[in-house]
Structure 1
Amino acid sequence: MRDKKRILIIASLAGSLIRFRGDFIKTLIHNGFDVFTASPPSNNDDFQIIRSIGATPIEFNLQRTGLNPLKDFKSIKELKSIIKENKIDLVFPYTVKPVIYGSMAANMSKVPVISLITGLGYTFTGLSTKARILQLFNETLYKLSIRKNKVIVFQNRDDYNLFIHRKVISKKQIVTFVGGSGVNLNQFRFKEKNVSDKISFLVVARLIEEKGITLYLDASKLLKAKYPNAEFHLIGSSETSPSAINEDYLNLLHKEEVIVFHGKQPNIEEHLHKRDVFVLPSYYREGLPRTTLEACACGNPIITTDSVGCREAVREGENGFLIEPKNLEALVSAMEFFIINPHKIKEMGINSRKYAEERFDVNIINADLLKLITSVLKI
């Protein structure tokens, strides 16, 4: 008879298992679980890192975007086989498709599920006819897939309220809330800001319209003309999304010294320490953006939108500002505040770190998830 219970964590990207769930996997292993991960095919480095943590990575095919019923059905079938062949005791999926298809596969296999809703993303932002059609389709799939789950974990109350309002789940469903994926406070260390006359701003995000990138670029143009010493940094990799930002345009603005475009960068902590203020003008339906948590931990004041998920990272006026989504004037005003009042950067940065320690410590969040798992498995 097996001594250890087996947990399967399902993700849409192998890299996200490392970046967003690495500490969680380590916590589970440390507490005596065998951990398996399921994600689409990836480079050997990602799977090797997962193995080095102590988990067993397994490939399955998943079409991350769009609708293809045949391929989606095959994903469910593959996951069902993975659950059966590896004698999984509990399934833990996160992000939209893994939650839907992982829950379906687990329910068919009569294996308990704790699903994590990490944000509803593009389809629930409802910016286009296609998005609205996908929203209705995904709502139906959620209803079919997660109602039998043992627990549904939300990262913000807005998503929970939407699910209740749309009758995706009932009020009888067992739910709980966590502060995002959490942040490792030892990795993302606090560093007090020593502000110079070159106030610098930083966005770290996917290079798509919904993240507010164009708004940030427009704000940067206006402020650079008025305050030549200010710096406007952008980190992100090119996207294949229909709303992807043209990278040639970013390179042009970089050449014209309007922004500093870094492309994709591995060491975000280092960049956060070098920059003064973190900005995320997203109107994407976020869960709780990891980058804002990391910025809080490193001691950066935050400017983000008063929208789903984003607002969770800011105590208004204490560690930053919340602005109206898509409002250029509000973004310019919030950024200009720090240029005019540089002394507030240090004070608000200290408050950001305190907030991260109080609410977003990955150890606290992982301990809560561990309690849920042991409760469901009746250990």
Structure 2
Amino acid sequence: MNKKRILVIASFAGSLIRFRGDFIKSMVENGFKVFTAAPTYTESDLEKINAFGATPIEFNLQRTGLNPLNDLKSIKELKTIMKDNKIDLVFPYTVKPVIYGSMAANSCKIPVISLITGLGYAFTGLSAKARALQRFNEILYKLSIRKNKMIVFQNKDDYQLFLDRKVISKQQPVNFVSGSGVNLNQFRFKEKNPVDQVKFLLVARLIEEKGIALYLEAAKRLKAKYPQTEFHLIGAPETSPSAISEDELNAMHKEGIIVFHGRQTNIEEHLHNNDVFVLPSYYREGLPRTTLEACACGNPIITTDSVGCREAVKEGENGFLIKPQNLEALIEPMEFFITNPDKIKQMGINSRTYAEERFDVNIINNDLIKLIKGVLKI
């Protein structure tokens, strides 16, 4: 019997490995022939995807901004990829792959399961440009996903927003998963037991919407009061309009206020070396992967009571939820852990338990594969 052929579409080749690697391997193990489409693979990306048992294919995609001519070319390329490789089902994730991948697949009469991984800047920003982009994206989503066989959300808030904005109807088939999941064998538990020095860690894109500026200000205040405390930050410099200045980060690093690590790949090691994970994001998240990894490694979580972020915290059990864009609300739980380091151990154990119950990548991948088999009727 011929293997069913699945095309996974991403806007960034590296995310296929970091966020979808286990899913790709699971599909291959379940007897599917898997292709991945993304722009600009590195040699390392190609090697890893081939090692998963999948076939990488490159296509042109402008990740940000709007250029109708380039976007039409992306749709045309995707249609060619689908036809040439006799694709049976398309699985796109993130904004542009969902929109353009769905348009291409629908025109080829290929079934689509689209994964909404968060709505990002266009549904977060307060500027006139952001509001205009939001309206435009709503139209594109409505046009592109209305014929999809299944729309998978990572949180109920995004689903409700799509209903409220009439992007989808209640009749359209939807499902829910707890983010991309986390590999509990890769992100192992390590018990926290700080005595007189508490270490905080934030891992995120270095943009305002991720709450980086709030974290930096909290670090300034708390470092002056508790000089032994450490505030670690991991993230690559950004070119976004709301990017945090790399010069500012380096200056604060030299002053000893923060420990700025730049881009890092060994996130598990950093989670083990630090005590409490912080993400004061007000970005329109799906379900941030970093918080799931922190839970798995046994870090208590401080994050915002906002879309996507709140999913990773049981209030008072494995961390605290705070009001978005509120410095005092951020400082309060950070100071709590500094002055009550004995609470970190049990909250960290609770984080791991929560990850095992809800965020195990095997549970999530099995759910997605059941959806795929259901759509393909196999």
Whether TM exceeds 0.5 here: the answer is yes
Q: In the alignment, what sits opposite 2:101?
A: 102
Q: Deviations over 1:6-52 (max 9, x none)?
A: 00000000100000000000000001000000000221111121111
Is the Cα–Cα contact under 8 Å of residues 234 and 263 in structure 1 kept in the other structure? yes
Q: In the alignment, what sits opposite 1:23?
A: 22
Is the Cα–Cα contact under 8 Å of residues 126 and 135 in structure 1 kept in the other structure? no
Alpha-carbon separation, structure 1, partners of 2:147 and 2:346: 47
Q: In the alignment, what sits opposite 2:58?
A: 59
Matches within 5 A, 1:126-275: 126-275=125-274
TM-score, normalised to structure 1's length? 0.99
Task: List runs of 5+ in structure 2 lacking aligned partners.
Answer: none
Shift of residue 113 of structure 1?
Answer: 0.1
* Matched residue SS, 2:195: coil
* Matched residue SS, 1:233: strand
Q: In the alignment, what sits opposite 1:309?
A: 308
Q: Deviations over 1:52-101 (max 9, x none)?
A: 11100000000110100000000000000000000000000000000000
* Matched residue SS, 1:62: coil
Is the Cα–Cα contact under 8 Å of residues 115 and 151 in structure 2 kept in the other structure? yes
Alignment-mate amino acid for residue 238 of structure 2? E
Q: In the alignment, what sits opposite 1:288?
A: 287
* Matched residue SS, 1:243: coil
Q: In the alignment, does 2:373 pair up with 1:374?
A: yes
Structure 1 runs (4+) greater than 6 angstroms displaced: none
Shift of residue 129 of structure 1?
Answer: 1.0
TM-score, normalised to structure 2's length? 0.99
RMSD of aligned C-alpha atoms? Answer: 0.6
Matches within 5 A, 1:109-120: 109-120=108-119
Alignment-mate amino acid for residue 45 of structure 1? S
Tell me the number of residue pairs that the alignment of Structure 1 and Structure 2 aligns. Answer: 378
Task: List runs of 5+ in structure 1 lacking aligned partners.
Answer: none
* Matched residue SS, 1:336: helix
* Matched residue SS, 1:203: strand
Q: In the alignment, what sits opposite 2:69?
A: 70
Alpha-carbon separation, structure 2, partners of 1:323 and 1:334: 8
Alignment-mate amino acid for residue 300 of structure 2? P
Shift of residue 368 of structure 1?
Answer: 0.2
Is the Cα–Cα contact under 8 Å of residues 275 and 300 in structure 2 kept in the other structure? yes
Alignment-mate amino acid for residue 174 of structure 1? P
Alpha-carbon separation, structure 2, partners of 1:373 and 1:342: 46
* Matched residue SS, 1:234: strand
Alignment-mate amino acid for residue 215 of structure 1? L
Shift of residue 127 of structure 1?
Answer: 1.9
Alpha-carbon separation, structure 2, partners of 1:335 and 1:144: 44
Is the Cα–Cα contact under 8 Å of residues 10 and 93 in structure 1 kept in the other structure? yes
Is the Cα–Cα contact under 8 Å of residues 18 and 46 in structure 1 kept in the other structure? yes
* Matched residue SS, 2:57: strand
Shift of residue 217 of structure 1?
Answer: 0.1
- Seq. identity, %: 79
Q: Deviations over 1:184-231 (max 9, x none)?
A: 000000011121311000000000000000000000000000000000
